[in-house]
C-alpha cells in the first residue's frame, strides 16, 4: 500500500481547480479503503445546511477566494480526528497555502504519522478553463473560474516546489482519460512507478 508498507496511506491530491483531483480521490478511496476528504465538499455542505461555518464561508466561496487558514485548520483538524481517517486519507483541496501545509504537517506529526505522497495532477490551463465551465457548478461563472485559477497560481502552486523539496511530489499528467490517470496514480502509490517527479512545463 503506502510507502510506509504498514497498510496505512496518507495522501494529498494537488492540482489546479478542474484538474480532476476530486474524481481521482474518489477512485483511489474506493481502491484503498480510506476516505477521500474534500474540504470544498465539506464547506458546500456547511453552506447548504446553513450552519455557523456555512454562514462564515458562503460569500468567500462565491467569489472564488480562499477561506482563511485558521478556520480551515479547525475544519481539517476535526475531520482528520475522525476514526475513519485513522489508517489514512486522501485530501482533496487541502492544503492550498503554505500556512495550511504547515498545519497539515503538524496535525500528521502530532498523530505520530507521516505523509506518504503528494499526487500532483498536471493539466494545461486551457483544458482547466474548458473543464471548469463545462462542469456547471453554481459558483463556476467565467469570472469566478478565472479568479479561482489566479488564486491557485498565487497561493497553491508554490506547494509543488514545497513538496518536491520534501521528496513527496509525484507528478502525473492529468490530461489523459480518467482510467489512464487512475491507473498511473495507483502504480505510483503501489511503488511500481515514480510519476514524473521532475517534470517542469
Where do contacts with ligand AMP occur on this chain (CB under 6 A)?
17, 39-40, 43, 60-61, 64-67, 72, 93-94, 96, 100, 148
Judged by beta carbon, residue 24 or residue 39, the one nearer ligand AMP is: 39
For residues 160 and 120, give the distance between their C-alpha atoms in angstroms, rounded to a whole number.
8
Q: For residues 19 and 34, which CB has a smaller minimum distance to ligand AMP in the complex?
A: 19
In whole angstroms, the minimum distance from the beta carbon of 98 to ligand AMP comes to: 12
- Residue placing its CB nearer to ligand AMP in the complex, 37 or 189: 37
Distance CA 121, CA 170 (A): 9
Question: 138 by DSSP, 3-state: which?
Answer: coil
Closest CA to 185 of 90, 46, 61, 88: 90
> Rounded to the nearest whole angstrom, what is the least distance from the CB of residue 192 to ligand AMP in the complex?
29
Bridging pattern class, strands 9-14 and 117-122 = parallel
Task: Choose between 43 and 182: whose C-beta lies nearer to ligand AMP.
Answer: 43
Q: Give whole-number Cα distances, 55 to 48, 141, 156, in Å.
A: 9, 21, 24
Residue nearest to ligand AMP (CB): 40
Work out the burial of residue 11: count CB atoms within 10 Å of its CB; fewer than 13 is exposed, 13-18 middle, 19 or more buried. Answer: buried
Shortest Å, Cβ 169 to ligand AMP = 18
**Residues linked to residue 14 through DSSP beta bridges, in sequence order:** 120
Q: Least distance (Å) from ligand AMP to the CB of residue 139?
A: 7
Closest separation in Å from C-beta 25 to ligand AMP:
10
Closer Cβ to ligand AMP, 3 or 107, answer by number: 107
Residue 83: how many other CB atoms lie within 10 Å: 6
Amino acid at each position: 500500500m503506502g510507502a510506509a508498507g504498514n497498510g496505512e496511506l496518507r495522501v494529498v491530491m494537488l492540482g489546479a481547480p478542474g484538474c480532476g483531483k476530486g474524481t481521482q480521490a474518489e477512485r483511489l478511496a474506493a481502491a484503498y479503503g480510506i476516505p477521500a476528504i474534500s474540504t470544498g465538499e465539506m464547506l458546500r455542505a456547511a453552506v447548504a445546511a446553513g450552519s455557523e461555518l456555512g454562514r462564515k464561508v458562503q460569500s468567500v466561496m462565491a467569489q472564488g477566494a480562499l477561506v482563511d487558514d485558521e478556520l480551515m485548520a479547525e475544519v481539517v483538524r476535526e475531520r482528520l480526528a475522525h476514526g475513519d481517517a485513522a489508517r489514512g486519507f486522501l485530501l482533496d483541496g487541502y492544503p492550498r497555502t503554505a500556512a495550511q501545509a504547515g498545519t497539515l504537517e503538524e496535525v500528521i506529526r502530532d498523530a505520530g504519522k507521516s505523509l506518504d505522497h503528494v499526487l500532483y495532477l498536471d493539466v494545461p490551463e486551457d483544458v482547466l478553463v474548458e473543464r471548469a465551465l463545462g462542469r456547471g457548478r453554481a459558483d463556476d461563472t467565467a469570472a469566478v473560474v478565472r479568479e479561482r485559477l489566479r488564486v491557485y497560481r498565487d497561493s497553491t502552486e508554490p506547494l509543488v516546489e514545497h513538496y518536491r523539496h520534501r521528496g513527496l511530489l509525484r507528478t502525473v499528467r492529468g490530461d489523459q482519460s480518467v482510467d489512464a490517470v487512475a491507473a498511473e496514480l495507483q502504480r505510483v502509490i503501489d511503488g511500481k512507478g515514480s510519476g514524473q517527479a521532475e517534470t517542469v512545463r
